[in-house]
Amino acid sequence: MKGLSMTIPQLSSEQLGAAREAATQARRARAELKDRVKNGELTFSKALDKALADDTLSRIKVIDLLRSIPRVGVTRATEIMENLQIAPNRRIRGLGRHQVERLNELFN
């Protein structure tokens, strides 16, 4: 593998602008989902289902979605993750079927 170098593609200003806009829209969608959980408009289980079905939303870290639940802070979210044997850096799209089931059981 020595000697192999990858060149970074040169993007036009239009392509850069489009990429920035797409990234901004993705961040807004993820923030909106967490806000809806925080405000009680959406249950954790429904938010989890919605995130699993959407590629953009599935990139939310599990701990961040847990922390959006009212009265769940850093400590409690960390305890939940440890009890369910979910890695601290795991994103929703990286959850296994059993982990999703256990999260749903915990919040139903």
Domains in the chain: boundaries? 14-107
pTM for the model: 0.82
Confidence of residue 108 (pLDDT cuts 50, 70, 90): confident
Contacts of 57 (CB under 8 A, 6+ apart): 29, 30, 33, 50, 51, 92
Alpha-carbon span 80 to 7, nearest angstrom: 42
Mean pLDDT of the chain: 92
Check the CA dihedral 98-53-86-108 and report its sign.
negative
The yes-or-no verdict on residue 41 having pLDDT over 70 is yes
CA distances to 22, 54, 65, 68 from 26, rounded to whole Å, are 6, 11, 15, 17
pLDDT band (50, 70, 90) for residue 2: low
Render pLDDT for 3-33 as a digit per residue (tens, 0 to 9): 667 787 788 889 889 999 999 999 999 999 9
Nearest Cα to Cα of residue 29 among 46, 51, 11: 51
Mean pLDDT, residues 63-82 taken together? 95
Query: Which pLDDT does position 53 carry in this prediction?
Result: 95
pLDDT of res. 13: 87
> How many angstroms separate the CA atoms of 67 and 79, rounded?
11
| Torsion 87-50-24-10 (CA) sign | positive
The architecture that CATH gives domain 14-107 is: Orthogonal Bundle (1.10)
